[in-house]
Amino acid sequence: MSADVRDLVASREEAGAVMNMGARRRAKFNDTVATVVMSAASLLLVVVLFGVIFLLLRAGLPALSWSFLTTAGSFVNTGGGIGPQIFVSMYILVLSLLFTTPLGVGAAIYMAEYAKPGRLTTLIRFSTEALASVPSVVFGVFGAIVFLTTFHLGFSVLSGALTLTLLNLPLMVRLAEDSMRTVPESYREASLALGGTRWETIRKAVVPSAIPGIVTAMVLTGGRIIGETAPLILTTGTTISPNATYSLNPLQTGETLAVHVWVLKIVGVPGLQDAQKVANGAAAVLLLIVLLVNIGAAYFTGRLQKRLSGTVGAPRAGGRKKD
Amino acid sequence: MAQPAQAASNQGPALQVRTDPSQNAAVGAAQPQVEARHFNFFYGAFKALDDINMVAGEHQITALIGPSGCGKSTLLRAMNRMHDRTPGAHSEGQLLLNGQDINAVEDLVELRKRVGMIFQRPNPFPMSIFDNVAYGMQLGSQRVPQREIPDRVEQALHGAALWDEVKDKIRQSGLALSGGQQQRLCIARAIAVRPEVILMDEPASALDPISTYKIEELMFALEREFTIVIVTHNLQQAARVADQTVFLTMNPETRAGFVVEAGPTGDLFRRPKDQRTQDYITGRFG
């Protein structure tokens, strides 16, 4: 090898090394940028959540008091509250979940355990997906036609609960089905090998293991029930009869907390004292209810996970475990 | 070509082979409990098992050995019809349980009550140790009166040599146990429903040596009450525990599994009749 060739080779190798170093530096830089962007995006989420909590509570907390939570709004004195609206919200929540959960879990069991690939399954899946993307106000119009007009249920808590059931079914089916699909096949095999029938296997081995997922689905649908306005305005109404506050009659008209906020902020209630203060307080209460339900559910599923597996439950979402 | 017997003695540490009396019993000496006669098995168009003839004697341990893909697990799973859930799986010929054709059984639940199964990976349910063992007894097919269940759970846990380790935490989750304990919990769960036959699909392959040893010890105890058929990749294990051994391999062209040789474990390992068996047990193949 002649000297100049050797130089050439050496300079090339050097160049290569420099380029490699450049490439490596670039890769490292890209990695850093990606990490920063991703962290910022997830941090933004936290900031938004706490921002919402902070602003709403700052506006609403001054209104909060025991009497605010337990009394009805007043047209005569200041200091009226939102008791009846909280009651209606809870009533519709319970009633609607009572319909949604068994229906949704039933459909999910069919889809996860029985349905074979085919036209019917494809049709069901397509319908579920399509229904999930229908705007909620459309469900309101539909509910008004079906429950108010056809079934003569009138503006009522029942009409509203049924309408929200339809609205929430696709989500419930989807989440419950997912949670059943994550139940290991080995549980099914173990149950069948012990002489379990298919139904016993589903009832005793699959569904219990899917309960944490079903609870999560209930929380998400519950949050939508508490927060929904449009379909309820069209089916439950915007008033609570003064003679029927805290009535368990499902055929009464009603006004949920979320609808109340909407009415106070957008429509206005002539003569109601403290309307803005009540609206801010109601929004804060709405937020607190949703937060409490979420925390409660996380606690419950965590406990359940621990009891089922003997270990501390994995967080509902989270990054990869560090090895 | 080396004589099989010599070749066998040439390999590293000699295989430790069972030598208790039942070991040398001829196949016919024990009452046949599970028997395959010209049994063929298909996954769709693929023939996975070709003309299988084998016998698992009552209260004996029968090992199915052979290279990966030879169909030994397929044969095992056919014995309690676990294939029924696989689309396209079907069979020809006879697979008998006490002379009765397993594939003609209409009541699968009844069949599986009689033929229990232990899987490769321990698969306790995510519930308490007690509930795991009680699971089978609480099924409609068993109808064990509720007041008898605690005693039967304890019996089963004794039977699976697990009682002393778990008696103080019987209400805790079965998933909190170690892998070996979990597998013995699965054995307790299986014997609690008092089957006639226990199928074991590589029951120790996911376990450490000490847990494996405990499972093997347990098998000797279980053999007195149950007929055991075990699939294992571990030749030493087969040699240690099995009364009878069935060696399967697959046809290199069709990839269908077939039985090369079957017989008392001692004979099969010390004096294999077939060159392929010889090659397999000396580690020259598979």
pLDDT in tens, A178-188: 999 999 999 99
Q: Write down the pTM of the prediction.
A: 0.79
Structure-block tokens of residue A271 = 């003569």
A113 → chain B, closest CA residue:
B85
CB–CB contact A208 B172 (8 Å): no
- DSSP per position, A215-253: HHHHHHHHHHHHH--HHHHHHT-S---GGGTT---TTS-
The confidence band for A1, taking pLDDT boundaries of 50, 70 and 90, is low
Least confident of A18-27, A119-128, A157-166, A223-232: A18-27
Helices (H) and strands (E) in chain A, counts: 12, 0
Contacts of A195 in chain B (CB under 8 A): 109-110, 112-113, 136, 139, 141-142, 193
CA angle B96, B34, B187 (to 5 degrees): 125
Residue A245 contacts B where some CB pair is shorter than 8 Å: no
Q: Are A194 and B80 in contact (CB < 8 Å)? A: no
Residue spans of beta strands (DSSP E) within B10-157:
32-43, 46-57, 61-65, 89-97, 100-101, 115-118
pLDDT of residue A311: 54
Partners of residue B246 on adjacent β-strands: B64, B262
Average of per-residue pLDDT values in chain B: 88
By the 8 A CB rule, do A309 and B176 touch?
Answer: yes
Is the model's pLDDT at B286 over the cut of 70? no
Q: Which domains does chain A have, with CATH numbers?
A: 61-307 (1.10.3720.10)
The region that residue A152 occupies, defined by phi over 0 for left and psi between -120 and 50 for alpha, beta otherwise, is: left
Q: Which amino acid does the sequence have at A167?
A: L
Neighbours of B40 (CB within 10 A): 17
pLDDT band with cut points at 50, 70 and 90 for residue A319:
very low
Say whether A195 and B139 touch across the interface (CB within 8 A): yes
Q: State the helix-helix crossing angle for A157-181 and A83-109, rounded to 10 degrees.
A: 40
β-sheet bridge partners, residue B200: B118, B230
Reported as a pLDDT band with limits 50, 70 and 90, residue A323 is very low
The residue of chain A with its CA nearest to that of B79 is: A193
Cα–Cα distance for residue pair B65/B59, rounded to 1 Å: 19
B202 contacts in A (CB within 8 Å)?
none
Instruction: For chain A, give the mean pLDDT.
Output: 87
What confidence category does residue A3 fall into, taking pLDDT thresholds of 50, 70 and 90? low
> What is the ipTM for the molecules in this complex?
0.86
Provide the residue type at B55 as one letter.
Answer: V
Average pLDDT over residues B248-274: 92
At A305 the pLDDT is 80
User: For B123-177, how does the pLDDT look when each residue is reduced to its tens digit (9 = 90+)?
Assistant: 999 999 999 999 999 998 888 899 999 999 999 999 999 999 999 999 999 999 9
Percent of chain A past pLDDT 90, that is, above it, reads 57
Q: How confident is the model at residue A95 (pLDDT cuts 50, 70, 90)?
A: very high
**Cross-chain residue pair B82–A194, CB shorter than 8 Å:** no
At residue A318 the predicted structure's pLDDT band, cuts being 50, 70 and 90, is very low
First-to-last C-alpha distance (Å) of chain A:
50
For B126, the closest of A192, A193, A309 (CB atoms) is A309
Contacts of B110 in chain A (CB under 8 A): 195
pLDDT per residue over A29-63, tens digit each?
A: 999 999 999 999 999 999 999 999 999 999 998 88
Q: Which residue from B minimizes the CA distance to A311?
A: B176
Which pLDDT score is estimated for B231?
A: 96
A190 vs B193: CB contact, 8 Å cut-off?
Answer: no
Distance CA(A259)–CA(B169), nearest Å, equals: 51
